[in-house]
Chain A
């Protein structure tokens, strides 16, 4: 995918986006799972911007997911039930938190970044745990009452409103991310990924760009968290949990980093498999996911999309 590419959506991309629309009509009973996948896909998209494009390894990305979730949840609990403004405010809070912590994160190298992001995630988890009078602690935040979307569509039990809401938000944010990575700014992120040492020698401040992309990634994670709070009308403390950050990393690596679509595909595969395997055996399903992950990393470098890209290149070469 060259950044010197046009805006236009390829046929493959259009087909990709038709899938979740088709799923809405074909699987009306699974819309709740569908919404979960869309929300997590958005979360994975945010991690792809910072990991796939800027090579910042984060194991604490749930910090921003949780901030978005609690912001949206608390707003709705205390009377601000309008979804869109709640979503924007939650995004703002997560973005601000991303900006403030970015300076800690971009300073170090890989291992330091891993530890700093992990530490920030743990601190927020414990803060939410301790402040149980506000957050509900381990019991979670209940009493979240969402208003109707546009004053018309209520978030009902059938999950239809939630699904469409999540899909539209995912698509809009995806368009934003897609524009970003094809822009000169996106080109410079690829420059950092490909040759961080050269960047200052062409007059670019690497840390400023990393701060920018980390902040954007945090904001998008906040959107995902807010969507979860709004559509489930509940915020569990596990929205800050370490396993959420770790699972996310698995999904993104499974799909392939640095394509934007990798996070979406990895999330869908991971969560569908999880749903299927856990229905077969509720205890041991993680075994098979673990095995899949090992196989992908060892035999399909670059995840599902990386493997497909390699296959395509091979076929092309064969034809010549």
Chain B
């Protein structure tokens, strides 16, 4: 199977603290791959390094065959790697529809059009409407983002990412902060995404991880502890120690 995304020796230090140390991972095209690990394991840092939010101290990122480690964030998105944020990072004063239209225009290269109203961008508006209805947000299209209930804002996070038509979608705790009944619903939507999209997600709810992931990587202390299928991970003694250990301390 072809590789959608891989890293070689990716590292990030903040002073003496090594948030990511020598992380080499590869994600197969079409994968449903979970990143798990206790708080502070460096999962979000890893996503920040992949997407270029933070510059890596060393190591490389390849998207398909292309080395993207030196590209700015927006250029990596253009090449097909998009993320969502653990803490809602939206456009509070725009409506849901406006936000997604904005993202669609940027993807299709229409974001610089200044000589006619956004209303004339039929293709972008139609596509935005489709994305919103896929996420069951069609009724909220004209609601200003800051007035949307929190759970719907989490869906809008994903809607914005989908508008970029990603080949690789990185979801940083997509269900963070919403009740578990709703989070199952949210993951059902994610599970329904087309198979061409490679999905890497960070999630703390183990029920969801084991139901939805086909491969799991466990990170601890900024490094990869182990990677395998859900069965392998469930049986792994070191993983149990990490989690039981954490539970014992918690």
Binding site for B on A (CB under 8 A): 2-7, 179-180, 182-188, 190-191, 193-195, 197-206, 209, 212
Contacts and interface: CB of A to CB of B under 8 A. Distances in A.
B73 to A, nearest CB: 4
Contact of B93 (A186, A190, A197, A203): A190
11 contacts: A4-B97, A5-B119, A7-B117, A179-B117, A183-B116, A190-B94, A190-B98, A193-B93, A195-B90, A198-B91, A200-B72
A195 B74 contact: no
B194 interface: no
A23 to B, nearest CB: 30
A8 to B, nearest CB: 10
A185 B112 contact: yes
Contacts of B92: 194-195
Contacts of B95: 2
A197 B52 CA distance: 12
Contacts of A179: 114-117
Contacts of A186: 114, 118
B90 A198 contact: yes
B113 A184 contact: yes
A202 B107 contact: yes
Interface stretch (B4-12, B28-36, B77-85, B183-191): B77-85
B105 A184 contact: yes
Given A3-B118, A6-B119, A205 B72 contact: yes
B89 A201 contact: yes
B83 A201 contact: yes
B51 interface: yes
B158 interface: no
Interface in B159-204: 160-161, 163-164
Q: For this complex, into which size category does the number of interface residues on chain B fall?
A: 35 or more
Contacts of B51: 201
Nearest to B146: A194
Contacts of B89: 195, 197-198, 201
A55 to B, nearest CB: 12
Nearest to A182: B117
Interface in B86-131: 89-95, 97-99, 101-103, 105-107, 110-119, 121, 124-125
A29 to B, nearest CB: 40
- In order of increasing CB-CB distance, the 3 nearest A-B pairs are A203-B77, A200-B73, A194-B91
Given A191-B91, A198-B91, A204 B106 contact: yes
A215 to B, nearest CB: 12
A81 B112 CA distance: 36
Given A184-B111, A186-B118, A191-B91, A201 B82 contact: yes
Nearest to B89: A198
Contacts of B116: 179, 183
A184 B91 contact: no
A212 to B, nearest CB: 8
A183 B102 contact: no
B98 to A, nearest CB: 6
Contacts of B119: 4-6, 182
Contacts of A191: 91, 94, 99, 102
A202 B163 contact: yes
B117 A6 contact: yes
Given A187-B105, A201-B83, A212-B112, 10 more contacts: A4-B98, A184-B110, A188-B102, A191-B102, A195-B90, A197-B89, A201-B51, A201-B85, A201-B160, A205-B74
Given A6-B117, A188-B105, A198-B160, A204 B91 contact: no
